[in-house]
Amino acid sequence: MKGRIFSGMRPTGKLHIGHLSVLNDWVKLQDEYKCFFGIVDWHAMTTAFDSPQSVKENIMEMAIDWLSAGIDPAKSAIFIQSQVKEHGELHLLFSMIVPLSWLERVPTYKDQVRQFKKEGKDIATYGFLGYPLLMAADILIYRADTVPVGVDQLPHIELCREVARRFNYLYQVSLFPEPQAKLSQAAVLPGTDGRKMSKSYGNHIAIDADPQEVTAKVRQMVTDPARIRKNDPGHPEVCVVYTYHRFYSPQKYEEIGSSCRQGQVGCVDCKKLLISRLNEVLAPIREKRQKLIEKPDEVMDILREGQKKAAQEAAETISLVRKAMFLDHF
């Protein structure tokens, strides 16, 4: 094993195929690292504090999606963040030593507060300001040295590294590693309309989408607006369908692009090929999902077992933290 990984997702709704590249990365990492994968419901509560029931409902959906995509509970600890209380304790203790200015300078904070305000929601809360610090606690409670993230999360990882350095310096220990970001090499899929894929835009394809839904969504995809007739030379670099082919049809990607530029394949046929490929990829996930949906007790058992594994590691870390901070009174 190379080291330890922590990563998580917020249970704020159904996963879409844009998440599949992340899950595929996790599946591969399981064989190389000791992995802790958390369904981070406390993070979800920072924006869904007024609809907690939705968070609870989404937890089971997310667990099923992860398992269906190939996350293996025999290799990784899969658990619910709030059920491992040490995450919260470490977050609290970190809040004693981290300057407020560190959190205020995180670039995503003010942008997201403004964005949510436009949508009629005030998230200028203590919890949302401390979101990156809770993320640092999530990572460091397992003394993870590697964190798979997207580029947008790099400022959070840098904060985590600063927190680890500050703790180690203040208490003259070498308890926490400075985790390294592991950027995904997979293509970032746009939504069906070319914008960022988001459930709020309605431009996503759900992981559990049936063949009819996949067909409907692909037919809506934006293609080359300059191409009127089937035989017109196309510009695949501006076509959303072609972007998807890069990810799902890598062996035929160049051939599809060449045929498009020469007017040898029309947009309808190109979409049909993509529909076929997407259904081929999603079919085994659909099959696994259906089996797991019928066995909710087994899914809960997996989460409980993952919680035990995670809690054992977290308890060891928090014991060392208390000792370093002279909080081991009894």
Enzyme catalytic residues? 117, 196, 199
Element spanning 274, H or E? helix 267-293
What b/e string do you get for 168-182 counting C-beta neighbours within 10 Å, with b at 16 or more?
Answer: beeeeeeebbebebb
Q: Give CB contacts under 8 A, 24+ apart, made by 249-253.
A: 249/273, 249/274, 249/277
Distance CA(159)–CA(106), nearest Å, equals 8
Distance CA(177)–CA(168), nearest Å, equals 9
**3 state DSSP class of 285:** helix
Please list the residues that pair with 8 across neighbouring strands.
38
What Å distances lie between residue 278 and 82, 214, 253, 283, CA to CA? 34, 7, 14, 8
Task: Burial-class residue 102 by CB neighbours within 10 Å (0-12, 13-18, 19+).
Answer: middle
Q: Strand locations in the chain, DSSP E?
A: 4-9, 34-39, 76-80, 146-149, 180-183
Element spanning 89, H or E? helix 86-95
